[in-house]
């Protein structure tokens, strides 16, 4: 029996007379049927879908981007043509909605930023503010995402997961202003004494001339935290500049949002605050509650505790793994606890003695 023929039979690619031939062969010997069953299993299984959800692909977003690009192409063609022809082509193309074009451009720009590099890079060339007012651009990091931005002045910004930053397309003459709406970012500000760099975050204002430091303002923190690696940074309340402190290298500043206070202190080890930039998670006597929170951000998973007492444990560990499984194993080994996954995205920490529910898969 020709192997290829058998496969063709299996995949429905064989002609009628060929099918007949195969069926006769199958009947000739039970072993033949066994062989087919093996192949059929492989064939069937390979067609099963275990792919992760299409996280990376968003048809709606890309469709809007495509329409925008088509618009650009249509306009480009327009310019090459004579005026009377232009009018006709333009009106014929349904994509051209003159009245909404400017608005669409801006909306498209904001939406696309969070999308993907190619179009984004291209877009940057073309969406130049021809208007007088400041065109703001927002960049959003979901859970599990991080990014590095280089701004037009040379400042480098590292954005952590679950963060949102907003800045003008073009910086103003007298100051460089960005808005860390929520989340965490590490700034390496290009030095320029005549051009101050201001970061607005959680009601605080951080003012820099040239230096490197991290700002953290997750909504659940209720605080804005600044950690300075190099240089000097001033951390002040947004509406009362007298409430503030100057932070130098190796110092940490906290702005308490509700109380409107700023405190500062020395920090022995910068590493734990900045490890996320390289993708590490460093914990020093950190409560499991906090560990869980950071894991959720970093890996976009949900972490629960089978036993509430585990939440109270403290973890000291350096987690370098990009694989969640590795990280979980390290944590489990360090604290002598166990864990299991209930589904693709949920992890539960539990005790050694406790058995995972039988209907779930045990790792």
Partner 1 sequence: MNILNKNNRHASEPYLILEICNGNEKAYEELYFEYYYQLCRFAESITKCSELARDIVQEVFLNIWVKRKSWEVKHSLKAYLYQAVRNQALNMVEQQGARHGLSVRLKEEFDMQSKATAEEGDDPASKLPGLINQIWELVEEMPDQRKMVFVLHRKHGLSYLEISEVMGIARKTVENHMGKVFQELREKLDTRVYL
* CB nearer partner 1, residue 211 or residue 341: 341
* CB nearer partner 1, residue 49 or residue 242: 49
Contacts of 199 (CB under 8 A, 6+ apart): 177, 178, 179, 180, 187, 205, 206, 207, 208, 215
In the complex, the smallest distance separating the C-beta of residue 280 from partner 1, rounded to whole angstroms, is 13
* CB nearer partner 1, residue 243 or residue 332: 332
**Which strand (E) or helix (H) includes residue 179?**
strand 176-188
280: helix, strand or coil: coil
Strands 302-305 and 156-159: unpaired
What is the torsional sign of CA 113, 117, 123, 125?
positive
Structural contact between residues 32 and 9, judged by C-beta atoms closer than 8 angstroms: no
Contacts of 244 (CB under 8 A, 6+ apart): 234, 235, 236, 237, 262
In the complex, the smallest distance separating the C-beta of residue 219 from partner 1, rounded to whole angstroms, is 22
Distance, in Å, from the CA atom of 132 to the CA atom of 128, rounded to the nearest integer, reads 11
Distance, in Å, from the CA atom of 60 to the CA atom of 62, rounded to the nearest integer, reads 6
Distance, in Å, from the CA atom of 115 to the CA atom of 120, rounded to the nearest integer, reads 7
* Residue 212 token pair: 């490197």
* CB nearer partner 1, residue 6 or residue 310: 6
Largest CA distance in the chain: 94
In the complex, the smallest distance separating the C-beta of residue 282 from partner 1, rounded to whole angstroms, is 18
* CB nearer partner 1, residue 38 or residue 290: 38
Residue 59: DSSP 8-state: H
In the complex, the smallest distance separating the C-beta of residue 283 from partner 1, rounded to whole angstroms, is 19
* CB nearer partner 1, residue 47 or residue 193: 47
In the complex, the smallest distance separating the C-beta of residue 321 from partner 1, rounded to whole angstroms, is 9
In the complex, the smallest distance separating the C-beta of residue 187 from partner 1, rounded to whole angstroms, is 15
Structural contact between residues 247 and 264, judged by C-beta atoms closer than 8 angstroms: yes
* CB nearer partner 1, residue 28 or residue 150: 150
In the complex, the smallest distance separating the C-beta of residue 8 from partner 1, rounded to whole angstroms, is 7
* CB nearer partner 1, residue 58 or residue 230: 58
In the complex, the smallest distance separating the C-beta of residue 1 from partner 1, rounded to whole angstroms, is 12
């Amino acid at each position: 029996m020709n192997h290829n023929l058998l496969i063709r039979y299996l995949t429905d690619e064989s002609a009628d007379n060929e099918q007949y031939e195969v069926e006769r062969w199958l009947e000739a010997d039970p072993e033949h049927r066994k062989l087919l069953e093996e192949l059929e299993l492989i064939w069937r299984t390979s067609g099963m879908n275990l792919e992760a959800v299409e996280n990376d692909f968003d048809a709606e977003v890309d469709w809007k981007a495509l329409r925008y690009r088509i618009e650009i192409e249509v306009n480009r063609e327009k310019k090459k043509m004579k005026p009377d022809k232009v009018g006709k082509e333009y009106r014929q193309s349904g994509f051209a909605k003159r009245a909404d074009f400017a608005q669409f451009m801006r909306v498209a720009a904001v939406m696309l930023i969070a999308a993907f590099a190619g179009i984004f890079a291209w877009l940057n060339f073309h969406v130049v503010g021809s208007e007088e007012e400041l065109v703001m651009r927002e960049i959003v990091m979901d859970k599990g995402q991080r990014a590095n931005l280089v701004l037009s002045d040379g400042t480098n910004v590292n954005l952590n997961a679950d963060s949102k930053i907003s800045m003008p397309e073009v910086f103003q003459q007298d100051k460089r202003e960005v808005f860390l709406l929520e989340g965490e970012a590490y700034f390496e500000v290009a030095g320029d004494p005549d051009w101050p760099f201001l970061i607005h975050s959680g009601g605080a204002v951080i003012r820099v001339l040239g230096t490197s430091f991290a700002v953290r303002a997750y909504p659940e923190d209720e605080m804005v935290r600044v950690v300075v690696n190099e240089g000097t940074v001033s951390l002040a309340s947004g509406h009362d500049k007298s409430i503030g402190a100057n932070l130098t290298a190796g110092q940490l500043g906290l702005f308490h949002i509700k109380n409107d206070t700023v405190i500062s202190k020395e920090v022995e080890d910068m590493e734990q605050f900045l490890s996320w930039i390289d993708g590490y998670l460093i914990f020093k006597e950190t409560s499991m509650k906090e560990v869980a929170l950071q894991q959720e951000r970093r890996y976009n998973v949900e972490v629960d505790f089978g036993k509430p007492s585990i939440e109270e444990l403290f973890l000291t560990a350096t987690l370098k793994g990009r694989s969640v499984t590795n990280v979980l194993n390290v944590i489990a080994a360090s604290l002598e606890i166990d864990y299991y996954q209930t589904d693709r995205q949920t992890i539960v920490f539990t005790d050694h003695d406790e058995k995972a529910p039988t209907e779930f898969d045990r790792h």
